Amino acid sequence: MQLEAVTIDIGTSRPLVLLNTVDADELGAHPLDRVRIEHDEETTTGIVKRTDELVEPGTIGVTEPLSRVRGTVDVTLAGKPRSVRYIRRKLDDVELQPHELETIVRHIHEDRLSDIELGAYASAVYTNGFSLDETKHLTEAMSDVGQRLTWDAPVIADKHSVGGVAGNCVTPVMVAIVTAAGLTMPKTSSRAVTSPAGTADVMEVFCDVEFTTDEIESIVTETNGCLVWGGGVDLSPVDDKIIRAENPLSIDPPGQLMASVLSKKRSAGSTHVVIDIPYGEGSKVESLVAARKLADDLKRVGDHLDMDVSCAITHGADPIGRGIGPVLEARDVLAVLEGDGPESLRLKSVRLANILLEHCGVDASAVDALESGRALEQFGRIVAAQNGDPDIKSSDLEPGAESTTVRAERSGIATRVDNRQLCDLARRAGAPLDTRAGLVIHRTASERVEDDDPLYTIHAETPAKLAEAEALADRLEPIQVRSKADALVERR
């Protein structure tokens, strides 16, 4: 069938085509079927949406990813991609072969799967998991798609956290310490997806984070390191598409998590990686047993990819630092580099930096780098190279002016701090889009609390956002305070 192609904007990044129901019936095309489009000696595939109004008969509407399709085109019905059959096999709990995983990855990269099919893939992995061999092959396939960074230095240091802990912004402190010791650490980080701040959001308080590959190489040549947004470069791009399918379901199965982390590291050219695995109630990894298994599997997959992976299993039941939200976490980071700041953030940053230095064979002390001021100076160099102000002080960083403090209604002990609830509150206050929104935590687990003591302060940029956060705070109890007797009963 010959149709006239017109570009139509329906706000999607998917390669969809809109067919009038008259033409769709003639082709025998149902919703989510594929059609093959031949144009200018090129063949393209689109996913069908039927409509009575948006396009006229004789016309095919193409979305932005297919905008190169113009003029009169030949349209025929196409079959489902082979990857759909492989996804169904995983739904049936069949172990996939390397070529099947490679096909799924390639088709995700080429946008050949519908949102429903991609959701089925995420659900299949969540329900049935991956074997270690599947994870190894999936990681390799994901890192082979997109760009690969290469570096002259024989050792390229890197760090990642599996997440789940509020305020856990140790990465900027670590990069400053490690690069001050002479190591190369080109750190690509993510923006927040479901959290109040990703590392890239925190760094954007100080400087630019979006750069091309050539610009990143120039920054690293000048300073030994960088702190940039990974989405600005095409490293393991399939990972971002899979994450978008997982987020509505709030799932992050271990096999896919490992492939996500290590494919990004391999694509970034990392040779020595320390992975932080926080565990505890409310964390992404809730038990020590699960944390140890994940660490063991990460090391094995790293060995398969010729990456030297070391895992640090850390306490994840409490927030790290006092601030939650871009500006508040940035203030904590800078305060630690200045020689002050939250002790929990300082201790964890030092511990992980020392592990990474030792892992890379460097005889240096993270404490010395902090106390001498070398780490602060190095952080300023990186900020300047990324078009920021190297002389910024932690006192310059002010949270949102609209605020309220939630206070204890009884004396006792803070028996539990819920990371998820704290993050939900910070997001309701406007973080991360409102960079000055978030929370300041005044009490952590096991601390003595007196009646009317401050527990946490909510900051927002507008009265409306503050009111929304206050309404949510009335329904939650992110910091539980119990009398000593009640706390003993709960432990039993």
Residue 66 and residue 5: Cα distance in Å, rounded? 10
**Of 287, 389, 294, the residue nearest 334 (C-alpha):** 389
Q: Among residues 33, 111, 158, 252, which one is catalytic?
A: 252
Is 451 in the active site? Answer: no
Residue 491 and residue 97: Cα distance in Å, rounded? 47
Structure-token pair, residue 286: 């809730």
* Residues known to be catalytic: 252
